[in-house]
Amino acid sequence: MENIWRWMLVTAIAPVAWGSTYVVTSTWLPADAPLWGAVWRALPAGLLLLLIVRVLPRGVWWWRSLVLGVLNIGAFFVLIYVAAQLLPSSIASMIMAMAPIAMMLVAWGVIREKPQLFSLVGAGLGFAGVVALLATGSGTVDVGGVLASLAAMLMSSVGFIFTKRWSSSAPLLPMTAWQLTMGAVAIIPVALIVEGAPRPVTASEVGAFAYLSLVATLAAYVGWNLGLRKLPAGAVGLIGLLNPVTGVLLGVALAGETLTALQLGGIGLVFAGILIGQAPVRAAVVSGLRRARRTLPRRRRVDRGADVLEQPRVPRRDETPRLKDAA
């Protein structure tokens, strides 16, 4: 049972770090070059991991790394950029909050991981919590922005499930390094077309990019990919709902924003959904422990009442062996 909470906490590093990116970006980085910002966020993280592991893709992992890099990093960041230009952040976050259900459905079709009732209930509660948390947002709804946000949510969900499916054939750190590097390389042509040549990074922006690259990308994707290896897809998707919660709480802590009663209730619903959604995981672990106990050697009770493993009887030196023992 302890391992479940350990993997949940490690996985939670990702959405908490991702939830902090809005504050960091809006406070210390310019808003006129988000695509190059995505490159400077993903590429250093991928190259640093490559320097650490010193392993390049082999065989099928060349095209697998490109596919995962495009789905999880490259196309995802571009679509998020488009959605941010066309939609209020609250609407975009509500659409992204449907990711747990999308991940469950994709996992059902791709890796035969059938959604459990508690997971679906948890996803519903979590989505309701995000809606309550962000319901105060306002702005017009653009159809193109909705489609871009939906596409980003679906592409990342598919990418995460294929990350889970292929993870058994590659170590965690090299696989993450390949994704980040390939994803960043995929963004560069789009950034050149849309934003032109990159401008120099100022000294005041170095710290922000360092945080985004090392914490919100490198550590976040390592933790997220580890969670995909250790937990069901639906459980990981539900933990991802901590993203908007973190963003709102950081706004309160750093920007002096206030929480309404509705938002507090929304945060409670998100946490309730996450905990309820983990019930199938806990049940599976308990069932496994019970099966393991049934396979242990039988125990017998001795005079002092202690439980000890049954051992064969060894005659004392001064004891004449019985005929049965001698035989």
Q: What is the residue extent of each domain of the chain?
A: 2-289
Alpha helices in the chain (DSSP H): 2-28, 34-53, 61-69, 75-86, 89-96, 99-110, 117-134, 143-166, 172-195, 203-213, 220-230, 233-239, 242-255, 261-277, 279-294, 323-326
Is residue 300 predicted with pLDDT exceeding 50? Answer: no
pTM of this prediction exceeds 0.75: yes
> Is residue 81 very low, low, confident or very high in pLDDT (cuts 50, 70, 90)?
confident
Predicted local confidence at residue 309, as pLDDT: 47
Predicted local confidence at residue 48, as pLDDT: 98
pLDDT, mean of residues 212-239: 96
Cα separation, 11 vs 172, whole angstroms: 13
Count, residues in the chain:
327
- Pull the structure tokens for residue 92: 């975009």
Cα separation, 200 vs 40, whole angstroms: 11
Residues 6 or more apart whose CB falls under 8 angstroms from that of 112 comprise: none
pLDDT, mean of residues 290-309: 52
Cα separation, 252 vs 255, whole angstroms: 6
- Pull the structure tokens for residue 94: 């509500």
